[in-house]
A and B are shown apart, each in its own frame.
Chain A
């Protein structure tokens, strides 16, 4: 079955750029999306179709996808961005990455 691999954790200082990767076989041939899940809350879609932002999502969130890796980039990271982030793609079925805990310190 298809697998997506994310680093378990990423740390970033406030105001700096955070990058979270998601790896999968020929992932660049598929659409990837990203979700943010804050503690005790439901996930929120922040990137779809590799690099599009839903209405209301800040411009500091961006995405890219090429080769075997999709990347979520958060520019000017804020303390409120501390959360778990999940990538997702579709193979024969929907697949989620294992999630990355972003710490802002």
Chain B
């Protein structure tokens, strides 16, 4: 079964750091672009970051402002998101998502999400 499983969420104080991980299974991880999408409580979906298949190309939403780093380990079928200088507005469920093959950015597989809470 194709699956994505996030981990690493939790509660942290403003200015703190967290490292999210996403374990992929059931498909050839190294063939796919991967993304992170977040959803604040009661709010809509917001794109955060993406990484190409070999990890050499990364892109971030403007609000990241150099605070987050996306990476991947194709040998371990794992995606990461290192989040530094966290702010209260970063509080959200963070989803690891797989971009479907093709020339469009549609996400065909979503993880269950991991909750990040930033508060004093």
Cross-chain contact A35 with B45 (CB below 8 angstroms): yes
Q: A35-B107, A48-B100 are in contact. List 5 more A-B contacts (CB 8 A).
A: A31-B105, A33-B105, A42-B110, A43-B95, A54-B108
Which residues in chain B, 60-95, are within 8 Å of chain A measured between CB atoms?
61-62, 95
Q: Which residues of B contact A33 (CB under 8 A)?
A: 104-107
Given contacts A54-B108, A93-B47, A96-B45, whether A45 and B100 have CB atoms under 8 Å apart is yes
- Is A98 part of the contact surface with B, judged by Cβ < 8 Å? yes
Q: Which residues of A contact B104 (CB under 8 A)?
A: 31, 33, 48-49, 90
Closest CB-CB distance, A12 to chain B, in whole Å?
A: 21
Cross-chain contact B45 with A99 (CB below 8 angstroms): yes
- Is B41 part of the contact surface with A, judged by Cβ < 8 Å? no
Cross-chain contact B95 with A86 (CB below 8 angstroms): no
Which residues in chain A, 39-64, are within 8 Å of chain B measured between CB atoms?
42-45, 48-49, 54
Cross-chain contact B46 with A93 (CB below 8 angstroms): no
Q: Which residues of B pack against A, CB within 8 Å?
A: 35, 37, 44-47, 50, 59, 61-62, 95, 100, 102-108, 110-113
Give complex CA distance A31, B95 in Å. 22
- Is A104 part of the contact surface with B, judged by Cβ < 8 Å? no
- Is A88 part of the contact surface with B, judged by Cβ < 8 Å? yes
Total contacting residues, chain A, CB less than 8 A: 23
Give complex CA distance A66, B102 in Å. 20
Closest CB-CB distance, A62 to chain B, in whole Å?
A: 16
Give complex CA distance A67, B59 in Å. 28
Cross-chain contact A88 with B44 (CB below 8 angstroms): no
**Which residue of chain A has its CB nearest to the CB of B113?**
A42
Q: Which residues of B contact A95 (CB under 8 A)?
A: 47
Cross-chain contact A94 with B35 (CB below 8 angstroms): yes
Cross-chain contact B106 with A48 (CB below 8 angstroms): yes
**Which residue of chain B has its CB nearest to the CB of A90?**
B105
Q: Which residues of A contact B110 (CB under 8 A)?
A: 42-44
Cross-chain contact A42 with B46 (CB below 8 angstroms): no
Interface string of A69-98 (1 = CB under 8 A from B): 000000000000000101010100111111
Cross-chain contact A98 with B107 (CB below 8 angstroms): no
A-B contact pairs, 9 of them (CB 8 A): A43-B45, A44-B110, A49-B106, A86-B44, A88-B105, A94-B37, A96-B45, A96-B47, A99-B45
